[in-house]
Amino acid sequence: MKNIKVTDVGQIRNELNKYKKGKKLDIRQFNQAARLAWLGRAVLMPLDPEDPDTRSYLIYLDHPDPFSAHFLNLDEDLIGHIFILDAEQAQYLAEIVEQGVRDRAALYRELDQREFYFDKFYRPEPEEPDRDG
């Protein structure tokens, strides 16, 4: 836990300004967060919805389901924690969450329409060449 001296008002203001701006994730962390966001495992919330000057967001990255976790390489220090994220990266992650929902919904719609029976059991007869010449 970080300690801040209460007697130094300037230092408190500087720390508050850092929180208002948030922090950027590095490229590797952002990509991992984006993968979790696409899977719907990210929760974003404005840090202070009542303060228009505060543009940073809280982000929580939850553990993926075991099947997804088998395929993803994720840092343990990223998962299960809350971070204060800057507005730009938070906006992009929110867009990725929306895209993930759209993509998964399309997958389920397609799955609902798919005809597995005909794919596996119906084989059209090959056309025979005309013998009339």
Q: How many domains does the chain have?
A: 1
Task: Establish if 121 belongs to a structural domain.
Answer: no
Task: With H, G, I as helix, E, B as strand and everything else as coil, classify residue 129.
Answer: coil
Domain extent, residue 93, equals: 9-115
pLDDT at 5: 57
- Residue 76 in any domain: the answer is yes
CA distance 80 to 70: 17
Check residue 27 and give its pLDDT.
96
Q: Note whether residue 28 is domain-resident.
A: yes
Residue 78 lies in a domain: yes
Instruction: Tell me the torsion sign for CA atoms 114, 116, 121, 126.
Output: positive
The whole-number average pLDDT for the span 82-102 is 95
Return the pLDDT at 31.
97
pTM of the model as a whole: 0.76
3-class SS at 1?
Answer: coil
Q: What pLDDT digit, counting tens, does each position of 7-47 carry?
A: 677 777 777 777 778 889 999 999 999 999 999 999 999 99
